[in-house]
Chain A
Amino acid sequence: MTRRHVGVLPGFGPTLGITVFMVSAVVVIPLMGLFVRSAGLGFGGVWETVTTPRVLAAFRLSFGASLIAAAINAVIGFLVAWTLVRYEFPGKRIVDALVDLPFALPTAVSGIALTALFAPQGWVGRLLAPLGLPVAFTPLGVTLALIFIGLPFVVRTLQPALMDLDAEVEEAAAVLGAGRWQILGRVVLPTVLPALLTGVTLAFARAVGEYGSVVFISGNMPHKTEIVPLLIVAKLEQYDYAGATAIGAVMLVLSFAILLAVNLLQGWTGRHREGN
């Protein structure tokens, strides 16, 4: 029992130490502070704060729009990654670089740009408004902004997985009689599913916490287009620190539960990796 296992890789002790320290200092301790702060309200107080209709509506919008945006990003992101990995076309490098732009822009800039485009007088909004499809200042607009900022996560996590996918595997399926859709559904998608899930999870996590790009296009109407992060800021501006931290803590628990579930799902889809 006391024999020390000496691995080939050096530095297990120090690296684990630093990892634990950083995760504690940067993630766990501040989050604990959140709970400590909101604990001042007591359980009943927290419950009362987060079950007001306005807060509930914000939760529904934040998580609902984020889930829808993540789902749409799964499809669009897959197509973009597939195109970038599988085909050669002029301007491919430029398209590849453009994918990263939502990462790089200050989110407020994206928000203003999207609002300018989709506002009823904007270039695109002008065309959509007569169709009875207002985008800006509606939940649709919120979803659109979340799709915009989430896309790079899906594309960038899928790209290496698709590059890894051997063309021979698809050929093998074709020789065995599979059609194009069967190859896509039975071979390509299941093989890259773990990476796709990672990307979608990242996009979702980012979307739930997104603030800058959403507040402009949403219009922030209570009960309609108000997202949770904005509500928190609003509470802070009214010096309701306890209320803000209570909402924050609940949001944290919900996000953590969803991320944990996805993680378990991922372990299940990646089960064939064991032994590799």
Chain B
Amino acid sequence: MSIEARHITKTFGAFRALDDVGLTVPTGRLMALLGPSGSGKTTLLRIIAGLEQADYGSGQVLFDDADVTVRPVRRRGVGFVFQHYALFRHLTVFDNVAFGLQVRPRKERPDKDEIRKRVGDLLRMVQLDTLADRYPGQLSGGQRQRVALARALAVEPQVLLLDEPFGALDAKVRKELRVWLRRLHDELHVTSVFVTHDQDEALEVADRVVVMNEGRIEQEGTPDEVFHRPATEFVMRFLGEVNQFHGRVDAGRVAFADVELDAGDHGRLAGPARVFVRPHEWEVSLAAPSQAAIRAVVKRVQSAGPVARLELRTAEGALLNAELPQETLERLGLAVGSEVHVTPRRLRVFAADRVPPTPGV
């Protein structure tokens, strides 16, 4: 089932959480809503679920082509997974998962054996079949979230919505669970939307990513698109580390930090600009290269891990971050105090005069 949200606006008092947002999730896709806290991503998810209503008179929510805007949450047929699990702590794992089936009206309710079989299947799927008689209080965070997922899937929802599903778990469990969520989605193909503020999680798991900021959608695209071709400065900054410079674009060339380079795709801009370079996109060399390069001194080397991280100070006194493969670091023999030349293999330029839109204007 596809999901479509049209012209959704939501205000809480004077705060505008969502500002005329539109979103389409095609059938069977896994979409991530990515953004910092307060960007409106959870509010949008809750409006799709029916746990929250858009402002009166604004917007519509459609499942396939049916308008569900005013359909109460219990009749929307969605599965919802909460950040803090929201399990029924007085019920066993089995009864938690069976809840959605047991509250059905008698004629729609499967019989006892059928319920037992379906819950058993789901618990096997989330690898918790041996813990069916435990209470939520006796499980670890990761296990609880898997119970919550099984519970949401028990009613065979057409749409699965997950609100920061791994937000309360520690790093290792998060990583395992997100791989597992992706595999599960590939098996079930339920149209899914999950909210996260963790860009790695969004980029790794989702088919499509929607980046949100201050109640608006900044960019929507595949993980590759949003990472490699950020549409706005916000997306550039949010999806990974950046080095930022103030510069100018003139006649297809961009000047910043005492270098002048071909502006490439960004040559159509003119005037003051902000220039962004990701740490792994620096070319670092000992000898001055043929093209323009920034001269810098190595202030700090952090080489534990597959990628070495350098902190550099330019001749102008600015600090730069760079990341190099271990081998390159060893080949160049870099250490604190080494003098190097750095030049960006790739850069992105955004006009500096454009003030980012503020909500409510």
A272 part of interface (Cβ distance < 8 Å): yes
Which residues of chain B are near A269, meaning CB under 8 Å? 90
A172 part of interface (Cβ distance < 8 Å): yes
By beta carbon, the residue of chain B nearest A273 is: B137
In the bound complex, do residue A187 and residue B138 qualify as a contact, i.e. CB atoms below 8 Å apart?
A: no
Which residues of chain B are near A275, meaning CB under 8 Å? 134-135, 137-138
In the bound complex, do residue B51 and residue A272 qualify as a contact, i.e. CB atoms below 8 Å apart?
A: no
A167-190, CB under 8 A of B: which get 1 and which 0?
011011111111100100011001
A103 and B261 CA atoms in complex are apart in Å by 81
Which residues of chain B are near A272, meaning CB under 8 Å? 89-91, 135-137
A238 part of interface (Cβ distance < 8 Å): no
Chain A stretch 52-95: residues in CB contact (< 8 A) with chain B: none
A274 part of interface (Cβ distance < 8 Å): yes
Q: Of B50, B76, B80, B137, which contacts A172 at CB under 8 A?
A: B80
Interface size on A, residues (CB 8 A): 25
A263 part of interface (Cβ distance < 8 Å): no
Which residues of chain B are near A171, meaning CB under 8 Å? 51, 73, 80, 82, 86
Which residues of chain B are near A2, meaning CB under 8 Å? none
In the bound complex, do residue A274 and residue B138 qualify as a contact, i.e. CB atoms below 8 Å apart?
A: yes
By beta carbon, the residue of chain A nearest B72 is: A174
In the bound complex, do residue A186 and residue B51 qualify as a contact, i.e. CB atoms below 8 Å apart?
A: no
In the bound complex, do residue B51 and residue A182 qualify as a contact, i.e. CB atoms below 8 Å apart?
A: no
In the bound complex, do residue A169 and residue B99 qualify as a contact, i.e. CB atoms below 8 Å apart?
A: no
B254 part of interface (Cβ distance < 8 Å): no
Which residues of chain B are near A172, meaning CB under 8 Å? 80, 82, 86-88, 148, 151
A101 and B74 CA atoms in complex are apart in Å by 41
In the bound complex, do residue A175 and residue B49 qualify as a contact, i.e. CB atoms below 8 Å apart?
A: yes
A276 part of interface (Cβ distance < 8 Å): yes
Which residues of chain A are near B136, meaning CB under 8 Å? 272
Q: Of A175, A187, A271, A276, which contacts B80 at CB under 8 A?
A: A175
B55-98, CB under 8 A of A: which get 1 and which 0?
00000000000000000011110111010101111110000000
CB distance from A197 to the nearest CB of B (A): 13
Which residues of chain A are near B104, meaning CB under 8 Å? 177
Which residues of chain B are near A168, meaning CB under 8 Å? 82, 84, 86
Given contacts A274-B135, A275-B135, contact A176 B51 (CB under 8 A): no
Q: A169-B89, A272-B135 are in contact. List 6 more A-B contacts (CB 8 A).
A: A168-B86, A171-B73, A172-B80, A172-B86, A172-B88, A177-B155
Provide a sorted-by-A list of 26 A–B residue pairs whose CB atoms are within 8 angstroms: A168-B82, A169-B89, A171-B51, A171-B73, A173-B88, A175-B76, A175-B80, A176-B99, A176-B100, A176-B103, A176-B151, A176-B152, A177-B75, A177-B155, A178-B99, A178-B103, A179-B103, A187-B88, A191-B88, A191-B90, A193-B90, A272-B90, A272-B136, A275-B135, A275-B138, A276-B138
Q: Which residues of A does B touch, CB under 8 Å?
A: 166, 168-169, 171-179, 182, 186-187, 190-191, 193, 269, 271-276
